[in-house]
Amino acid sequence: MLEEVKVILDGNENLTEEVRDNLMELITIFHEIFKDVDLTTLKERLKTLKIKRESMYLVKMPCKYIPHNNEIAINYGLITEADARHWLMHSLLGVITAKDNYYGFNDEGDSLLALNEGYTEILTNNLVGDVDNNFFTDEIIMTNLISKVIGNDVLYKAYFSNDAGMVLKAMAEAEVK
């Protein structure tokens, strides 16, 4: 599985060798912990993934995955002072779970955006460690509270299957109990 990912990644001429190596290291870390997650979307998106420097006015965090462009937008002013590995993993989770113009269990209307960012950040922290200046502290707290109500297994399954409806249904059922 990882050999196939490496071949695809190495074929992407949009990325420098250093970036490809960094991405492969993070993909390996992810795959070692989440062996059951299907990497089909990742393999498809890695073929054309781009990393682009963006204006600090457009990207308010060190970097962000933009699914409809299949690019990781870098805020150079912030990334130089941040844990680049952490932020690249956060963005990579977007690549792994991307569907159309969203990723994770968010949907086209961004109805679960805060929950999605909170869960992505929790996964990132577990994979590569926490950061001092976390942009998503409130979202992490909210996500942890919601996971206590509906169960982390529901969040996990919904996140990696792009199913916002699963989360909403579990929340509605929890309200009835």
Task: Decide: helix, strand or coil at residue 13.
Answer: coil
Mean pLDDT in residue range 153-167: 94
Per the structure, the complete domain to which residue 108 belongs is given by: 2-176
Q: What is the pLDDT of residue 175?
A: 72
Q: What is the pLDDT of residue 72?
A: 94
Residue recorded with tokens 């996971």? 147
Residue 97 in contact with residue 160, Cβ under 8 Å?
Answer: yes
- The H or E element that residue 30 is part of is helix 17-33
Q: What is the mean pLDDT of the chain?
A: 90
Confidence tier at 176 by pLDDT (50, 70, 90):
low
Q: What is the pLDDT of residue 177?
A: 59
CA angle 110, 101, 93 (to 5 degrees): 85
Number of other CB atoms surrounding residue 57 within 10 Å: 7
Domain count for the chain: 1
CA atoms of 9 and 15, how far apart (whole Å)? 9
Q: How far apart are CA 146 and CA 94, in angstroms?
A: 21
pLDDT digits (tens, 9 = 90+) for 49-102: 999 988 776 778 888 999 999 999 888 878 777 788 999 999 999 999 998 888
> What is the Cα 71 distance to its own chain's centre?
12
- The pLDDT score that the predictor gives to residue 3 is 94
Q: Which of 56, 57, 87, 83 is nearest to 72 (CA)?
A: 87
> What separation, in Å, do the N-terminal and C-terminal C-alpha atoms of the chain show?
42
Q: Is the dihedral of CA 113, 116, 118, 124 positive or negative?
A: negative
For residue 11, the number of C-alpha atoms closer than 13 Å in the C-beta half-sphere is 12
The whole-number pLDDT of residue 80 equals 79
Q: What is the pLDDT of residue 100?
A: 83
- Whether the predicted pLDDT of 125 surpasses 90: yes
Q: What is the pLDDT of residue 129?
A: 86
